[in-house]
Structure 1
Amino acid sequence: MRSAMAKHILVKTKAEAEKLKQRLAQGEDFARLARKYSQCPSRKKDGDLGKIFPGQLVKPIENIIFRKALLKVHGPVKTQFGFHLVVVYFRS
């Protein structure tokens, strides 16, 4: 079965997500920003979602995790939870 591993940062507004994406592009540490700003419990693990299988997450996030380029910051993508920045670091 396909699987992937990803990290994400979840915030309430698109503007906040855009600011964080700019900071990441300037070289700031994803894990540090996730711990400080993410609204998801995964913030305690530096934003790491662990091993992910199809059907576990909401569609917009799964589309990134299973279809987009590895090691690139994707987003902001909107879900019912807020706005996400996602980095996929492994896929099988």
Structure 2
Amino acid sequence: MAKRACALHILVKTEAECLALKQQLDRGADFGKLAKKHSICPSGKRGGDLGEFSKGDMVGPFDKAVFSGPLLTVQGPVKTRFGYHLLKVLYRN
């Protein structure tokens, strides 16, 4: 079972905004560019790059999505106390 992962994410305040961004991504928009423009997380400046982190480092719903969802596929909206996330897991190990 994977204990570490690397992921990108976009954090926004509303589910509607999250769904609109996901539609753009589904049509081929660049994840990093959308993160830089829309994410309210400081990681947005890095294209949403969270770097590598351990299982349990992130809030529950986010952690569950990262460690159980598909690789290299945009997931979301994932609701946490911070807002709504779109995430893309780059790798797990």
1:60 is aligned to: 61
Distance 1:57 1:4 in 2: 11
Distance 1:44 1:64 in 2: 22
The alpha carbon displacement at 1:37 in A equals: 0.0
The alpha carbon displacement at 1:11 in A equals: 0.2
The yes-or-no answer on 1:46 pairing with 2:50 is no
2:16 is aligned to: 15
When structure 1 is superposed on structure 2, of 15-24 and 49-58 the one drifting more is 49-58
**Runs in 1 of length 4+ with deviation above 4 angstroms?**
none
* Secondary structure, counterpart of 1:70 in structure 2: coil
RMSD: 0.9
> Percent identity between the aligned chains?
51
Equivalenced residues, count: 92
TM-score, structure 1 normalization? 0.97
